[in-house]
């Protein structure tokens, strides 16, 4: 264990449509010399869905390396921490090699973060697992959601590292009505998505649940939106550009925009605002 010292720290609100309505991420801007236990200990203490640690990159293509922890363990990739950490790094004086984008190194490889006027967008990494869920897993998720199998319009692995699987229901109303019980399924990393009525400013409502990672419900999930975006835009289940609302049942108001380029690259974009600046002793 290293001797404690003061390190720069930030907390960033990601995907918010108004102040403090998105998903916060805690960012330690200098994770040098910290061990796994120290990182995990802080993540458990912040009790946010993710806490990240910025480190020097190990490849010249990257601007920095990022480690991402939930209260229960480390993730190879996560979306809202990617955008929030990029914002905190830029806010703290970080200078990217390329003016238009930041390149993050993490366990899944290099992730490009595109800089917009008021938003940031990350390029969805490749899925490590895709395809329909097997019957037994689907049965368990349906039981945990407390819905009838006939209400499931479609289902898919959308795993880009964390382990996500998703069910598609017919309507956003059905998604918002879910009261999941994961008592018999504690390792779940699952989501549910349903369409809003025509004319709504968001096309879909998404809810994501990760009780096995210490996050019963996530207010806004970039990695799940990335995998779902790749699935839906590549199969005709959604247009090449659409917006998703998330966090409604938690009293949040997150907005995530999905855009698929002509080459199939899916970008996940939204706001990322530094709300807390200071130091942490580790």
Kindly list the catalytic residues.
50
Calpha distance 195→193 (Å, rounded): 7
Angle, alpha carbons 86-216-205 (nearest 5°)? 70
CA distance 94 to 146: 47
Region for 111 from its dihedrals, namely left if φ exceeds 0, alpha if ψ lies in -120 to 50, beta otherwise: beta
Task: Fill in the DSSP letter of residue 147.
Answer: -
One DSSP character per residue, 44-80 reads HHH-SS-EEEEE--SSTT-SEEEEEE-SS-EES--HH
Task: Please choose, from the candidates 230, 224, 186, 182, the residue with its C-alpha nearest in 3D space to the C-alpha of residue 206.
Answer: 224
Q: Judge contact between 243 and 203, C-beta under 8 A.
A: yes
Q: What does each C-alpha distance from 267 to 43, 54, 114, 208 come to in angstroms? A: 27, 22, 9, 19
Between strands 272-281 and 6-14, the pairing is: antiparallel
Residue 6 burial (C-beta neighbours within 10 Å; 0-12, 13-18, 19+): exposed
CA 95 to chain centre: 24
* Cβ contact 152:145 at 8 Å: no
Residue 13: strand pairing partners: 24, 273
């Amino acid at each position: 264990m290293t001797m404690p010292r003061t390190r720069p720290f930030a907390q960033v609100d990601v995907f918010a449509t108004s102040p403090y309505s998105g998903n916060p991420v805690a960012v330690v801007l200098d994770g040098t010399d910290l061990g796994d236990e120290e990182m995990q200990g802080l993540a458990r203490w912040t009790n946010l869905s993710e806490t990240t640690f910025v480190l020097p990159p190990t490849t010249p293509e990257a601007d920095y390396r990022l480690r991402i922890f939930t209260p229960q363990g480390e993730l190879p990739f996560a979306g809202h921490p990617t955008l929030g950490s990029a914002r905190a790094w830029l806010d703290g004086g970080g200078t990217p090699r390329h003016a238009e984008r930041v390149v993050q190194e993490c366990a899944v490889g290099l992730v490009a973060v595109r800089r917009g006027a008021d938003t940031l967008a990350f390029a969805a990494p490749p899925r490590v697992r895709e395809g329909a869920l097997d019957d037994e897993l689907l049965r368990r998720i349906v039981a945990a959601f407390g819905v009838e199998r006939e209400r499931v319009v479609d289902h898919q692995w959308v795993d880009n590292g964390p382990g996500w699987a998703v069910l598609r229901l017919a309507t956003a109303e059905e998604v918002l009505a879910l009261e999941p019980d994961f008592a018999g399924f504690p390792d779940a990393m699952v989501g549910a998505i349903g369409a809003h009525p025509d004319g709504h400013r968001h096309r879909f409502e998404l809810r994501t649940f990760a009780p096995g990672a210490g996050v019963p419900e996530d207010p806004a999930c970039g990695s799940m939106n990335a995998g779902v975006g790749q699935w839906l835009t590549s199969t005709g289940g959604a247009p090449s550009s659409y917006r998703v609302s998330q966090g409604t049942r938690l009293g949040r108001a997150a907005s995530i925009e999905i855009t698929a380029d002509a080459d199939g690259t899916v970008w996940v974009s939204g706001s990322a605002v530094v709300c807390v600046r200071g130091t942490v002793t580790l």
